[in-house]
Structure 1
Amino acid sequence: MHRRRRTALVLSAAIAAAAPLLTACGSDTHPGAAAVVGGDRITVAQLEGRVNEVRRAQQAAVPDETQYQQVLGSTSALTRDTLHNMVLDRVLHRAAQDQHITVARKEVQQMRTSLEQQAGGATALETTWLQRYGVAPQRLDDNLRLQLEAQKLAQKLGTDTTTPAFWKALSSASAELHVDLNPRYGAWDVERSSRVDAKTPWLREITEKGPQQQTA
């Protein structure tokens, strides 16, 4: 997941990997959960469902099997990216709620109409969001609602979505929600409101010892 931050596309922002203030949940504590956000579980089944939505849309958009395999190769981190976005969606929504920000359905439709005109139609817009941001067509309106929340939050803070002030608000929301990730998907960096790959020194130790044990 290494996309650029964009003022209107905060949910597709690239977050540099970092280590401070990481929290993680084990499968024993939250069985079947990919993450727990504000006490609500994002189940593994829900995560897999979202990933499958994207994969089906990708396959429909690229019917050629060779090209589809290339797409799979270029989006090999889709599961972790999708979980990152599912968690960040909730973090951003909490940050917006903290500032009493709401988004009307009419605003979402207006934004979609404007973007469709720029993209060259509804299908073109859906394809763009799928290819660039890993958003399935049926999730487009939800994503646009969050983009509007991000824009309004930045305006309320007197800044934009690329500044430390904006991300500090998301960090505060992350802390409020006590985000916990199942270690198989990494960990959550509260400071950056981002999923990061968890360090697993025990795995490195086993890997390094493996050849020695085999030759003994």
Structure 2
Amino acid sequence: MHRRRRTALLLSAAIVAAPLLTACGNDAHPGAAAVVGGQRITVAQLENRVGEVRAAQRAAVPDDAQYAQVIAKSGTLPRDVLHTMVLDQVLHRAAQDAGVTVTRKELQRMRGGLEEQVGGAKALETAWLQQYGIPPQRLDENLRLQLEAQKLATSLGTDTGKPAFWNALSEASKKLDIDLNPRYGTWDVQKSGRADAKTPWVREVTAEQQPA
């Protein structure tokens, strides 16, 4: 596999790897799942994004029993989606600070290469949905994120797996002053990722209601 494509896959996996808690609003920011750079990510926005993934999963798996299995295996989906939404903004800020931009031509070239690698556009959409929880309508958005990450790493003289890259994300996290709803835990600035809050009263939701 081409090195740049392999890096994209690894970064995608890292972005959606950390678990998250579902939540409603807190006292400081009613209705907010998180506040990033002074802008709220509302619970409604989070639920909408989760709904996009579920709709894509349902379309891909029309059999009720199989869909129930998909739901059972992806009970942490709301947590993963919120983590992605926050980290997307962190990475974009780090890229902006480094003067990194991504052109439409670069995005098309990357997508074309990945489609060739996996066997077509539909196969790529299916792979991103199954492996990373990215619905088809968010695929280009996610690939642009991967390109930003790659170009940021290059501008820093490193790669996405090295401390220098994550240090840049840490600096971006500090500037964005990320505030998570306590029910979601806290944002670890040094690791640019969410950490569980040590609150025994938090109940982790591990499964969503299955359709009748």
TM bin (shorter chain) = 0.7 to 0.9
Residues in 1 aligned to 2:134 and 2:17: alpha-carbon distance in whole angstroms: 21
Asked if structure 1 preserves the Cα contact closer than 8 Å seen for 2:158 and 2:165, the reply is yes
Please tell me whether residue 29 in structure 1 is matched to residue 28 in structure 2.
yes
Aligned to 1:163: 162
Match of 1:214 in 2: none
Letter in 2 for 1:13: A
Amino acid at match of 1:179: I
Q: How much identity, in percent, do the aligned residues show? A: 69
Q: Report SS of the residue matched to 2:128.
A: helix
Q: Which moved more, 1:131-140 or 1:26-35?
A: 26-35
DSSP-derived class of the 2:83 partner: helix
Equivalent runs, 1:8-87 vs 2, <5 Å: 8-9=8-9, 10-13=11-14, 27-87=26-86
Query: Tell me, what secondary structure is at the counterpart of 1:160?
Result: coil
Partner of 1:34, secondary structure, is strand
| Counterparts of 1:185 and 1:72, CA distance in 2 | 21
Answer with 1 or 2: which has the greater Rg.
1
Stretches of structure 1 lacking an aligned partner (at least 5 in a row): 1-5, 18-25, 205-216
- Asked if structure 2 preserves the Cα contact closer than 8 Å seen for 1:11 and 1:85, the reply is no
* Residue aligned with 1:158, SS: coil
Map Cα deviations across residues 70-129 of structure 1 (whole Å, 9 max, x no partner).
Answer: 111111000011000000000000000010000011111111111111111111000000
Q: Which secondary structure state, in structure 1, belongs to the residue aligned with residue 33 of structure 2?
A: strand
1:193 alignment partner in structure 2: 192
Change (3 A) 1:16 1:107: closer
Q: What is the aligned length?
A: 190
Shift of 1:192: 0.7
* Alpha-carbon offset, residue 16 of structure 1: 8.6
Q: So what's the TM-score if we normalise by structure 2?
A: 0.85
Contact 1:95 1:170 in 2 (8 A): yes
Match of 1:22 in 2: none
Deviating runs (4+, > 2 A) in structure 1? 14-17
- Alignment gaps of 5+ in structure 2: 1-5, 19-24, 203-212
- 2:36 and 2:177 in contact (8 A); partners too: yes
* Aligned partners of 1:15 and 1:194 also within 8 Å: no
Structure 2 SS opposite 1:13: helix
Report Cα offsets for 1:146-167 as digits up to 9, x if no partner.
1000000000111110011111
2:52 aligned counterpart, secondary structure: helix
Kept after mapping to 1: 8 A contact 2:16/2:83: no
SS of 2:40's equivalent?
strand
Quick one: distance in 1 between partners of 2:86 and 2:109?
26
Deviation of the 1:65 alpha carbon: 1.1
Q: Is the 8 A contact 1:130 1:136 kept in 2?
A: yes
Q: In the aligned structure 1, how far is the partner of 2:161 from the partner of 2:123?
A: 27
Once the 2 structures are TM-superposed, how far is the Cα of residue 140 of structure 1 from its aligned partner? 0.3
- Structure 1's 153 and 182: CA in aligned 2 closer, same or farther, altered over 3 A? same
CA distance in 1 between counterparts of 2:146 and 2:17 reads: 20
1:15 deviation in Å?
A: 8.6
Which amino acid in the other structure matches residue 7 of structure 2?
Answer: T
In 2: Cα distance, 1:145 partner to 1:15 partner:
16
Backbone CA RMSD of aligned residues: 1.7
